Amino acid sequence: MNYNILLGGAAGQGMNTVGGVLEKVITRAGYYIFFHKDYMSRVRGGHNFNQLRFSDTPLYTHQEKIDMIIAFSEETVEKHRKDLTDNGIILCPTDFNVADPRARALPFKEIAKELGNVKVFGTVIVGAVVKMFKLPLEIAEGVLSEYFSGEILKLNREALQRGYGLTEEKFELPVSELKDTITINGNQAVGLGALAAGCTFFSGYPMTPGTGVMNYIASKQKALGIVVEQAEDEIAALNMVLGASFAGARAMTSTSGGGYSLMVEAIGLAGIIETPAVIVNVQRPGPATGLPTRTAQGDLKFVISAAQDEIPRMVISLRSAEEAFYQTARAFNLADKYQIPVTILSDQYLADGGVTMPPYDFSKIKIERYLADAEEIGEAPYRRYKITEDGISPRIIPGTIPGQVFMVDSDEHDEFGHIIESGELRNQMMEKRMKKMDGIRQDVREPWHLGSENPELLLVGWGSVYGAFKEAVERFGREGKEVGALVFGDVWPLPIRKITAYAKKAKRIITVEGNYSGQLAELIQQETCIPMKERFNKYDGRAWSHEEIYRRVQEVL
Amino acid sequence: MMLNTRFEQSKETAWCPGCGNFGIMNALESVLNELELKPHEVVICSGIGQAAKMPQYINANGFNGLHGRALPPATGIKIANKNLKVIINSGEGDTYGEGGNHFIHTIRRNIDIAHFVHNNQIYGLTKGQASPTTDMRFVTEVQAGGVILEPLNPVALAITMGASFVARSFSGDRAHLKEMMKAAITHKGYALVDILQPCISFNKVNTFKFYKERVYHMKEDYDYANKAQAFERSLEWGDRIPIGIFYRTEKPSYMEKIHHLSDGEILADKKPDPMEAEKFMDDFR
Ligand SMILES: Cc1ncc(C[n+]2csc(CCOP(=O)(O)OP(=O)(O)O)c2C)c(N)n1
Ligand SMILES: [Mg+2]
């Protein structure tokens, strides 16, 4: 059993507050939510909407079908009524001109005026919604006390009661037990993962939708004694991160595609100076400014090769907010282990979408720095780029061993980091660095498998499409269809065991991606020689819904 | 035997014989020794260019990064480990051209870094194009009709941006250069020393002789704290070129403004425990 509430209106009308309060009431009452945000790149006005989907079991994705529309504008009704179920309801103020039999005009504004404060209008709506879903009123009262205090709290409680009195119980919702859960979005999950991993320095430059990571980490600076520096541009951001990392701090930056583009030269620098860095790219559609507040998976090809020439690197895409936490911590360990830049690919859908889940298990996070100590280095002059069998040279931190110094150099260099131009040494260094890819290949994780073990149809995707895949594949399963799916998390180097095995079994393979050409499909072809001809590509700036995947597959089955 | 207890310069460099960079390297080597710093406690940062090869030639730690990007890594290093002495040696093209944005904002940060700009008024490594400080009408292969852009005045810019230490020196005046370097390294906050440096290969105008004839020491009674006076002085360029400290003031450095950084543990020394962050989950309950 799950329900989907859509709140829509112009920016600045208060629907985020109503959504926020409802989200808390619903999760406190023991339900799981999936919160989906669709907003325009402006501070006021326009048409924005939030979707609050909830259920008594965990949710992994949003949904097209809506059970309730809370309209802050007439436009909201016009735009979304086509997705409303027959039994659904539209809640709107009495002064809206809405010709839909499912509409229920209620005196939210009149009540707020009566109570003497138009601002409590949203709380009246909350009351009405709480009643219709039979949610516990005490919990709603408790949530209000976190937002307000004193006289204003009293007023809001009254507004809640009045709203509650406006409606009747309408939707069946199984009673849920209270459980310890968290509701977190992708950006916060990445930030929390970085803090758990011991990130002590962050530098970034604001760019939607990547800014949330910086915001979250910044809020913990004092508590943890760490530093977040807003750089003058993304070039500075990553270069600062590399300086801090060179000097021994675990360091990170986050941005979106435009900022990542500016970082490109420094990504190569991280590669050649073999200095760890974690770089988060929260994708939005491009090119250039693109669609600033929308979602996309268009940067895969770009980030696996960004920088002139070749460097060892790793790219991890995030499939869910739950995974985001653990993968971010893992990214730091891998960056340190191989002394490489690790890119985390997220996207707006994941970044802004809140999901309810069990609390993270912090005891699973291990901080592994892979640093050499004085004994290991000995008394001979330290070779920062010592040629070793696996390509990894013992790494020390400047200032920690008296008498030992070293250079890092963006020029090609010898084992000491000194500039060279010999072809032979160049080959040795290039081979040493690229050798690290062999180790990284051992560490990459195969994609997650969903649905049929012997699929007639195999869906293949990566990153945040996971949730929609899960529901679509489960639906096919219930209908007795042999549909399976693989969802890649690690995308570079590409793990190829599972895709090779399932490709042998599957009669048909379709890739489903959020970009124009099917970038994962091309990458799989490149790495495995398995043809990936059928591709569902979406590049309208919106995330795949499970219904859309289901429909598209139905059409071709 | 302990390694690297004294600073030494390497005998081989990629600089032309007679290059002004040698004077700067000699001065830096002896200043670091006279200040009794230890090589492992010092990081010399640079971008790319002939001047930017400095970290290659002194046995301290070095971060020889990207063209134009000497300042951001230096900033990251200092924040991560406030106990390291962070010094930047880089060209004026690197600093004021490709890296101009970082120059402006590093001044605003007032972070404890001594910044030595080797200003030869030319792009040396790329063989003689105009740099941001090349004088107008200077002819190059690219600027064949002579430079038509007005030169950037780094000293004036730094003063107006609020830099807490702004000086100019000359690579051919060893005693003066050493004095400026020492003052900059021991200054709390960001310290700029723009160092006039002849490029014998590509700048036939601003030669050793050119500078020698023009530079003069600002008087002993000069008021370092007078910003208006400093600005006025910074505009003097031509037959007479003032060298010395133009402006110096005490103000809180970046480190001092972040108390958990100035009073707390060095970031790089922290041994974080993942469980420390577990409580933050309450934000999401
Ligand atoms: C991104 C980038 N653009 C251009 C260059 C080429 N380049 C190297 S050094 C340099 C100019 C150096 O001038 P300056 O900083 O004044 O140093 P000098 O050689 O004069 O000491 C240029 C343009 C580069 N290495 N990287
Ligand atoms: Mg120059």
ipTM of this complex: 0.98
Each domain of chain B, given as residue ranges in start order, spans 20-284
Q: Is B274 on the interface with A (CB under 8 A)?
A: yes
Kindly state the helix (H) or strand (E) to which residue B79 belongs, with its residue range. Answer: helix B71-80
For residue B95, give the ligand nearest its CA.
1
Report helix angle A321-338 to A186-196, nearest 10.
40
| CA B233 – CA B219 distance, rounded (Å) | 12
Q: Residues B231, B160: contact at Cβ < 8 Å?
A: yes
For residue A264, give the ligand nearest its CA.
1
Instruction: For chains A and B, count residue pairs whose Cβ atoms are closer than 8 Å.
Output: 221
Beta bridge pairs of residue A34: A53, A355
- Hunting for tokens 């406006």 — which residue is that? A166
CA–centroid distance, B98 to ligand 1, in Å, is 8
Mutate to test the interface with A, among B36, B81, B83, B276 (most CBs of A within 10 A): B81
Query: Is A360's CB within 8 Å of B55's CB?
Result: no
Q: Which tokens in the block code for residue A367?
A: 């901080």
- The 3-class secondary structure across B220-275, one letter per residue, is CCCCCCCHHHHHHHHCCCCCCEEEEEEEECCCCCHHHHCHHHHCCCCHHHCCCCHH
Rounded to 5 degrees, φ, ψ at A204 are -155, 170
CA A442 to mean position of chain CA atoms: 25
Q: Which tokens in the block code for residue A465?
A: 């499409």
Using a CB-CB distance cutoff of 8 angstroms, which residues of chain B are in contact with residue A362? 274-275, 277-278
Mean per-residue pLDDT over chain A, rounded: 97
What are the Cα distances from residue B27, in Å, to A88, A199, B95, B241?
80, 38, 20, 21
CA–centroid distance, B70 to ligand 2, in Å, is 14
**Residue A94: is it exposed, middle or buried by C-beta count within 10 angstroms (0-12/13-18/19+)?**
exposed
Query: Is A246's CB within 8 Å of B275's CB?
Result: no
**What's residue B2's pLDDT?**
52
| CA B186 – CA A245 distance, rounded (Å) | 25
Q: Is B272 on the interface with A (CB under 8 A)?
A: yes
Q: Which tokens in the block code for residue A412?
A: 């090609």
Q: Residues A435, A460: contact at Cβ < 8 Å?
A: no
Query: Does residue A241 carry a pLDDT above 90?
Result: yes
| CA A88 – CA A465 distance, rounded (Å) | 27
Considering only residues 164 to 193 of chain A, which have any Cβ-Cβ distance to chain B shorter than 8 Å? 180-184, 188, 192
| CA B230 – CA B208 distance, rounded (Å) | 25
Considering only residues 172 to 231 of chain B, which have any Cβ-Cβ distance to chain A shorter than 8 Å? none
Q: Which tokens in the block code for residue A271?
A: 């590669």
Nearest to A403 among B5, B48, B75 (CB): B5
Q: Which tokens in the block code for residue A13?
A: 């009308």
For the CA of B97, the closest atom of ligand 1 is 15
Query: Does residue B3 carry a pLDDT above 80?
Result: no
Q: Which tokens in the block code for residue A9?
A: 């209106």
**What's residue A553's pLDDT?**
97
- Our mutation pick for probing the ligand 1 site, out of B19, B123, B133, counting the most ligand atoms within 8 A of Cβ, is B123
Quick one: which of A110, A69, A112 has its CA closest to A91? Answer: A69
Query: Does residue A486 carry a pLDDT above 90?
Result: yes
Q: Is B111 on the interface with A (CB under 8 A)?
A: no
Nearest to A403 among B4, B56, B285 (CB): B4
Shortest Cα distance from B38 to chain A (angstroms)? 8
Q: Is B277 on the interface with A (CB under 8 A)?
A: yes
**What's residue B220's pLDDT?**
78
In angstroms, the first-to-last Cα distance of chain B is: 58
Using a CB-CB distance cutoff of 8 angstroms, which residues of chain A are in contact with residue B275? 362-363
**What's residue A60's pLDDT?**
97
> Which tens digits make up the pLDDT trace of A294-326?
999 999 999 999 999 999 999 999 999 999 999
**To the nearest whole percent, how much of chain A has pLDDT over 70?**
100
Strands (E), chain B: 42-46, 61-64, 85-91, 114-119, 165-170, 191-196, 215-217, 241-248
Specify the residue with its C-alpha closest to ligand 1, atom 7: B126
Quick one: which of A495, A509, A500, A521 has its CA closest to A300? Answer: A521
User: CA neighbours within 13 Å on the CB side: how many for A503?
Assistant: 17
Query: Does residue A283 carry a pLDDT above 70?
Result: yes
Mutate to test the interface with B, among A192, A362, A379, A419 (most CBs of B within 10 A): A362
**What's residue A40's pLDDT?**
84
Using a CB-CB distance cutoff of 8 angstroms, which residues of chain B are in contact with residue A273? 65
Report helix angle A466-478 to A546-556, nearest 10.
50
* DSSP annotation string for A363-416: GG---------HHHH-SSPP-TT---TTSPPP---TTSSTT---EEESS-B-TT
> Which tens digits make up the pLDDT trace of B113-150?
999 999 999 999 999 999 999 999 999 999 999 999 99
Coil/strand/helix, residue B191: strand
Q: Is B49 on the interface with A (CB under 8 A)?
A: no
**What's residue B1's pLDDT?**
41
Sign of CA dihedral B58, B59, B62, B65: positive
Coil/strand/helix, residue B145: coil
> Which tens digits make up the pLDDT trace of A167-211?
999 999 898 888 899 999 999 999 999 999 999 999 999 999 999
B20-284 CATH: 3.40.50.970
> A287: cis peptide before it, omega within 30°?
yes
Mean per-residue pLDDT over chain B, rounded: 97
Considering only residues 61 to 90 of chain B, which have any Cβ-Cβ distance to chain A shorter than 8 Å? 61-66, 69, 71-77, 79-81, 83-84
Q: Average of pLDDT values for A384-390?
A: 98
What are the Cα distances from residue A440, in Å, to A252, A386, A435, A528?
20, 19, 9, 18
A529: which residues sit within 8 A by CB, 6+ positions away?
A: none
For the CA of B90, the closest atom of ligand 1 is 15
**To the nearest whole percent, how much of chain A has pLDDT over 90?**
95
Q: Residues A112, A152: contact at Cβ < 8 Å?
A: no
- Our mutation pick for probing the ligand 1 site, out of B98, B119, B196, counting the most ligand atoms within 8 A of Cβ, is B98
* Domains of chain A, earliest start first: 2-164 (3.40.920.10), 183-364 (3.40.50.970), 371-443 (no CATH), 446-556 (3.40.50.920)
Q: Which tokens in the block code for residue B255?
A: 């480190």
Q: Is B159 on the interface with A (CB under 8 A)?
A: no
Q: Residues A102, A80: contact at Cβ < 8 Å?
A: no
